[in-house]
Amino acid sequence: MRHILLTLAIVLTCFATARAADRPNILFIIFDDWGWQHAGAYGSTWVKTPNFDRVAREGVLFKNAFTSNPKCSPCRASILTGRNTWQLKEAVSHNGYFPAGFEVYPDLLERSGYSVGLTGKGWGPGDFRELAKRTRNPAGPSFDEHRSTPPASGIGRNDYGKNFDAFLAQKAKDKPFCFWMGFQEPHRGYELNSGVRLGKKLADVTVPPYLPDTALVRGDLADYAIEVEWADAFIGQALASLESRGELENTLVVVTSDHGMPFPFVKGQIHEDGFRLPLAMRWGKNIKPGRVVEDFINVRDFAPTWLELAGLAPHPQMTGRSLAAILRSPQSGWIENRAEMLVGKERHDLGRPHNLGYPVRALRTKDFLYVHNFHPDRWPAGNPESDFGNVDGSPTKEFLKAIGGHFYDLSFGKRQPDELFDLRTDPAGVNNLAHDLAHAGTLAAMRARMMQLLTEEQDPRALGQAAIFDTYQYVGGGGNKSYANWLKAQEEKQKLSASEGAPKADPMPKKGNRKQATPVKQP
């Protein structure tokens, strides 16, 4: 009997070990503020990304990947929980609280036997301790000891490659791992003219149609490009580390971003380049190389995918859909015909009276983007007196404020309740067709479909419970400081006017006013 029990124990141990070996490692690499079109795999010639391109070439490139909310912490909350941000209570806001009561995939994988870790930026900015009672970032325990010497002062000093090596060195060899590599690049600020200093030529830069084509804007884009390229090099280091350890072929390598580039009209805004993401995945022989997938992918699809690949049941909180079948398919093009995408936002950085947000919901299809602005009376980028607090400070921002006109209006001006963009002829989404009678049927159909989907997702804004969003507390700085300073100055002038007959308070700053508040550094 003892021999039988011993044999059974050995068999069970071997079976468990084999099952563990079948579970892939997961290396999740996320840039901060990297636009989807700025990679060689997507056709860029002026932003060089050889390592992202390698992941795409040896795996699968996704043409239509999207965030549910184009700001850092809301997007990352979607990634971690597998839910859209309007399903995440406090996590819908930028620089707010991570909510209690939601599981995150690193914890679920860790409890199932994975080693987990993080270097760089995980979930944030915001507070994950008070409500969620977490002692570590929701993305995992941090490995940030090693520092690098970057070529420009605007680039962070985290040595992501060495910190990944430190994690691999300490993890148990018999355990699969799940590691989050969170680049801080190309988040602002940038060293002015660092792009040209490091070899970029302004003539090579491609300027999108929502920004003016000037040397100043080209220089700002060049400064952004060298930060993308700096981060891309760490992808190569990570692949080399895995290869040297014999782990590369059993590691699912995922590279993406949290939203578009930190320029006016893009970051934090419900525009095509604001919420569309770069995305490529490599997984040895498990993914046929060189594939290009058209299906619409949302960042909330990641968590259920990782769980399925790890052999775990889907968590009931997760509303995303696993991508496992798409990854394993040998086909390119439309695999599961996922051709609809919801996106939206509530409150990002502050900068409006009473700290109100700018609520938006949108529906993206193959051909059109429909956007509904619930409060078109508000300023979408924050009030002018807050220096448009939901737009990062930059030379480009200051230039648009100075010149006014068309580009100013695109980035900072108030918007119509409904917006409709035909992406077949207007891929950047700058020409609003909502009032074109030829598109009235399309607009009505997309509005109805969007509200149907939001109701199914129990979005409070679709259920008549929108007031809840403005009760969520903000814990950061951002544009609210500028607004508070402006408001205080106006109150003081009003007091002087009443008591001494002094001139009345300044009116709201006009377009192109060079005396608007100085930019506030974004968190």
pLDDT per position as a tens digit, 295-330: 999 999 999 999 999 999 999 999 999 999 999 999
DSSP summary character for residue 63: E
Instruction: Check if the beta carbon of residue 237 is closer than 8 Å to that of residue 183.
Output: no
Place of tokens 């993401």: 277
Instruction: Check if the beta carbon of residue 360 is closer than 8 Å to that of residue 270.
Output: yes
Q: What is the model's pLDDT at position 497?
A: 61
Q: Is the dihedral of CA 158, 161, 162, 166 positive or negative?
A: positive
Nearest of 46, 104, 90 to residue 317 by alpha carbon: 104
Q: Beta strand 60-66 with 276-277: parallel, antiparallel or unpaired? A: antiparallel
- pTM for the complete prediction? 0.90
Q: What is the model's pLDDT at position 221?
A: 98
Burial class, 85, CB count within 10 angstroms (exposed 0-12 / middle 13-18 / buried 19+): buried
Q: List strand residue ranges (DSSP E) for 354-508, in order.
A: 360-364, 368-373, 418-422
Please tell me the number of Cα atoms within 13 Å of 380 on its side-chain side: 27
Q: Is the per-residue pLDDT at 177 higher than 80?
A: yes
Could you report the per-residue pLDDT of 403-451, keeping only the tens digit for each? 999 999 999 999 999 999 999 999 999 999 999 999 999 999 999 999 9
Helix or strand holding residue 277 (H, E): strand 276-277
Average pLDDT over residues 12-26: 57
Structure tokens at 200: 């970029």
Q: Give 5 or 105, the one with higher predicted confidence.
A: 105
Collect all residues with Cβ–Cβ distance below 8 Å to 489 and sequence separation of at least 6.
none
**Distance between CA atoms of 121 and 445, rounded to whole angstroms?**
40
Could you report the per-residue pLDDT of 189-243, keeping only the tens digit for each? 999 999 999 999 999 999 999 999 999 999 999 999 999 999 999 999 999 999 9
> What is the CB neighbour count within 10 angstroms for residue 340?
14
Q: What is the model's pLDDT at position 498?
A: 61
**Distance between CA atoms of 272 and 505, rounded to whole angstroms?**
39
Q: What is the model's pLDDT at position 50?
A: 98
Nearest of 92, 371, 410 to residue 263 by alpha carbon: 410
**Distance between CA atoms of 279 and 188, rounded to whole angstroms?**
22
